[in-house]
Structure 1
Amino acid sequence: MNKHLRSCIKGALLIFTSVLATNSQAQWNKQTSGTAEILRSVKFTGSGSGYAVGDKGTILYTSNGGSTWGAQSSGVTTHLNSVDFTDNTKGWAVGDDGIILTTVNGGTNWSKQTSPDKNKLRSVDFIDENQGVAVGSTSNFGLSYIIYTTNGGQNWTKAEYSTADILFTVVQLNSSKGLAMGNHGGVFRSSNGGANWSVFTIGTGPSIRSVSFADASKGWLVGTSGDIYHTTNGGDFWDEQNSGVSTQLNGVYFVNSSKGYAVGNEGVILVTTNGGTTWTEQYSGTTEDLYSIAFTDTDNGWIVGSNGTILHTSNGGNPTSTLNAKDMGIQFYPNPVSRTSGINVEYTNNSALDISLLNHLGTVVYKSSEFDTKSERIDLNNLELTPGVYLLRIADGDKQMSSKVLVY
């Protein structure tokens, strides 16, 4: 390497040192759900009480933070897409074919409420035990659909709005103002509790899947191409943030105005500690698609997804202590390595490894979970890397390691 390149790498190494601390393996652990159905929504009502809903009428409940999950009887086989509770006893779940379920005893019993139509409901949000909004799509042309209630769902009424694309998510910021969002950047806004809605479009039209507000002003939304947008004025204007991924993001949750998470397909978990100025990827330990995330405080969070996946963290997903390559029986070489060459990884055990390569911004530039032999080669030639310091991240179940790699 020439003198100029050594100087560049030395500078990159200083920058990378701080990134290394936030991109070491994070602590998310699988919980036993007892189902293989897709779980699409999760909601916690207290420190240990939580609910997850999903396909074929699945409703799961835990009273101990997920140490054990048990099935509740929904009385339906329809896919359930969203769940919300206003306290420890009163909740609602919505799904396909206009299904609306409610409970007044923490899920011991669920009963049906009457929807105006048999349209697909994808999201529900109650601001109190009386006022709620549900959104989705019509069954015929897949257009936007909004209904609301002012009496806890005893009566649901179709709202007044201009027809647009499918809606995937809804949030009520207060008793008057609400936002509903969906395909092609479509955002519906209500100022009268959900009875009437006006529509506008965000940016270049991202397909929005989820929204979360830390307070009445600051909110974030996520979409299908790794899109993340942020508002500081209650949703009137939105600015794009760089997620560092192109994977579809399905869920977002902010525990406060600084710290938030986004989850998506292929096991992607992103975290920010500065309101989204920068996002970094955490290690999920799964390649299942992840759909929904909820926290009860800054430390305890849960994620649900495909194949009955439930993940839990008790430390906010913060990095755990990592082993070195020798301790894990791993060798990788060469280091430094040419960007037109490759990295060879050898493992003493015949095991499935998760291998990732991240740049100095924390963006994943290579990821593989298909490794089930004792050796693999990471071909760098097709990755179009720039010279600098990268992080090689390898996990085998609970055993994890991270190491810096110089690419020239």
Structure 2
Amino acid sequence: MQTPLKLALAGAGLGLALLAAPPATAEYVDVLDLPAQHSTLALGSPLSAITRAGKRLLVVGQRGHILYSDNDGRDWQQAEVPVSSDLTAIRFAGERDGWAVGHDGVVLHSDDGGAHWTRQLDGRRIGQLMLDFYAANPQADNAALLDQAQRMKEEGADKPFLDVWFKNAKEGFVVGAFNLILHTADGGLTWTPWNHRVDNPQSLHLTAIAAVGEDLFIVGEQGLILKLDRQSQRFVALTSPYKGTFFGVVGEPGLIFAYGLRGHAVRSVDGGASWSEVNTGLPVSLTAASVGGDGRLYLFSQAGQGLVSRDLGASFAPLALNERTPVSGVLASGDSLLLVGNRGLQRSALPAGQ
């Protein structure tokens, strides 16, 4: 199975960190206890995701880097971040409250639009959190859940969160490797395991979570597509025509679009009841997508190719880009596409007619 770009970027970061490591005699400091270092090179180093908080742009990437811009990306400032873990995703619920997640099971929160961040959770605590919850709230398969929690406690902070979603400033989810999923109803002050509320008996990785209208979807390995059943408060598995890994899911009213390994993508126009495969014409992994304000769907690959759809993801045409670089996150902004990847931030003007 090919590794998602998020994990690949983090792996590259580990290699760089080893090359730049201090002598063996230096005292070891866990990245969860080491604040992100300010660097003039941060914007050009590997980045994994981009989002908006009101008019503010924010990006996240390796070594705990979070940067923000208040003038549509012309100038950037580096945020104060309490960890140096590689970050994989960022999401805001309004202009001020935002969350970022990443490796080492880290969950960060900002209440000032992303200028300053605090740690709400990390992987050193998740195993015990799960043990305490399932000991106090037994489930039908509690023995397996307790065993998983015990392994997580023993293995420590080695499980990444790969995505985050918040409905508002209080309620949200974080998802990640090996069916790792936590829910909060108080803005992240406390977290509740939801492993028992997911149709994922193989504990497949959960790679992305996104809302389309009032519906909430999760995608993952082996063709996994899940939809939250509001009545049962459970993520129910849907039937997918593709059985490989999905890396992301986006949508708009009338469309749910999931994309992943080796150019594969699927779409649904009936709320997830049925799915059809989409011919993207690409043989490489699809790693980022965004719906523009004009309703067009933009899709990008690990090799830097760009595609655009004008018919709700039914067909795609090549997109002319200023530069072709691997893309891990995209945001359609006015007449430009803002792309992030292992070469940092790139801006590509949309050609006339696109």
Range class of TM-score, shorter chain: 0.7 to 0.9
Q: For 1:78-117, what aligned pairs fall within 5 Å after superposition?
A: 78-114=85-121, 116-117=126-127
Alignment correspondent of 2:152: none
Return the alpha-carbon distance in structure 1 between the equivalents of residues 317 and 187 of structure 2.
39
TM-score (norm 2): 0.72
Question: Which of 44, 56, 63 in structure 1 is aligned with 2:70?
Answer: 63
Q: Are the aligned partners of 2:263 and 2:281 in contact in 1 as well (CA < 8 Å)?
A: yes
Alignment correspondent of 2:50: 42
Return the alpha-carbon distance in structure 1 between the equivalents of residues 169 and 293 of structure 2.
24
| Uncovered stretches (5+) of structure 1, i.e. residues with no partner | 1-31, 138-142, 321-408
Alignment correspondent of 1:5: none
When Rg is computed on C-alpha atoms for both structures, the one with the higher figure is: 1
The answer as to 2:295 corresponding to 1:295 is no
The answer as to 2:287 corresponding to 1:250 is yes
Alignment correspondent of 1:133: 173
Higher helix share: 2
The answer as to 2:194 corresponding to 1:155 is no
Deviation at 1:258, TM superposition (A): 4.4
Return the alpha-carbon distance in structure 2 between the equivalents of residues 193 and 126 of structure 1.
19
Q: Are the aligned partners of 2:213 and 2:252 in contact in 1 as well (CA < 8 Å)?
A: no
Which amino acid is 2:236 matched to? S
TM-score (norm 1): 0.63
Which amino acid is 2:164 matched to? V
Q: Structure 1 pair 107/204, CA: closer, same or farther in 2 (3 Å)?
A: closer
Between 1:185-194 and 1:144-153, the stretch displaced more is: 185-194
Which amino acid is 1:304 matched to? V
Return the alpha-carbon distance in structure 2 between the equivalents of residues 319 and 171 of structure 1.
29
1:172 aligns to what SS in structure 2? strand
Which amino acid is 1:65 matched to? D
2:222 aligns to what SS in structure 1? helix
Return the alpha-carbon distance in structure 1 between the equivalents of residues 239 and 120 of structure 2.
32
Which amino acid is 2:344 matched to? G
**Identical columns (%):** 22
Q: Are the aligned partners of 1:37 and 1:56 in contact in 2 as well (CA < 8 Å)?
A: no
Runs of 4+ aligned structure 1 residues displaced above 6 Å come to none
Q: Are the aligned partners of 1:44 and 1:296 in contact in 2 as well (CA < 8 Å)?
A: no
Alignment correspondent of 2:181: 146
Deviation at 1:151, TM superposition (A): 1.3
2:262 aligns to what SS in structure 1? coil
Q: Are the aligned partners of 2:42 and 2:65 in contact in 1 as well (CA < 8 Å)?
A: no
The answer as to 2:163 corresponding to 1:123 is yes
Q: Structure 1 pair 204/213, CA: closer, same or farther in 2 (3 Å)?
A: closer
Return the alpha-carbon distance in structure 2 between the equivalents of residues 193 and 107 of structure 1.
34
Instruction: Give a deviation string over 1:73-104, Cα, whole Å, max 9, x none.
Output: 21211010000011111110000111000101
Alignment correspondent of 1:228: 265
1:97 aligns to what SS in structure 2? helix
Alignment correspondent of 2:59: 52
Return the alpha-carbon distance in structure 1 between the equivalents of residues 313 and 110 of structure 2.
36
Q: Structure 1 pair 130/275, CA: closer, same or farther in 2 (3 Å)?
A: same
Question: Which of 215, 219, 229 in structure 2 is aligned with 1:191?
Answer: 229
Deviation at 1:198, TM superposition (A): 2.5
Q: Structure 1 pair 173/107, CA: closer, same or farther in 2 (3 Å)?
A: same
2:312 aligns to what SS in structure 1? coil
Deviation at 1:194, TM superposition (A): 9.8
Instruction: Give a deviation string over 1:45-79, Cα, whole Å, max 9, x none.
Output: 33x41100011111011111111122112121101
Question: Which of 241, 265, 272 in structure 1 is aligned with 2:278?
Answer: 241
Deviation at 1:309, TM superposition (A): 3.1
Return the alpha-carbon distance in structure 2 between the equivalents of residues 107 and 317 of structure 1.
32
Q: Structure 1 pair 93/272, CA: closer, same or farther in 2 (3 Å)?
A: same
Return the alpha-carbon distance in structure 1 between the equivalents of residues 50 and 326 of structure 2.
14
Question: Which of 339, 344, 350 in structure 2 is aligned with 1:308?
Answer: 344
Q: Structure 1 pair 184/74, CA: closer, same or farther in 2 (3 Å)?
A: same
Q: Are the aligned partners of 1:148 and 1:194 in contact in 2 as well (CA < 8 Å)?
A: no
Deviation at 1:190, TM superposition (A): 1.7
2:100 aligns to what SS in structure 1? strand
Deviation at 1:255, TM superposition (A): 2.5
Which amino acid is 1:265 matched to? Q
Q: Structure 1 pair 230/317, CA: closer, same or farther in 2 (3 Å)?
A: farther
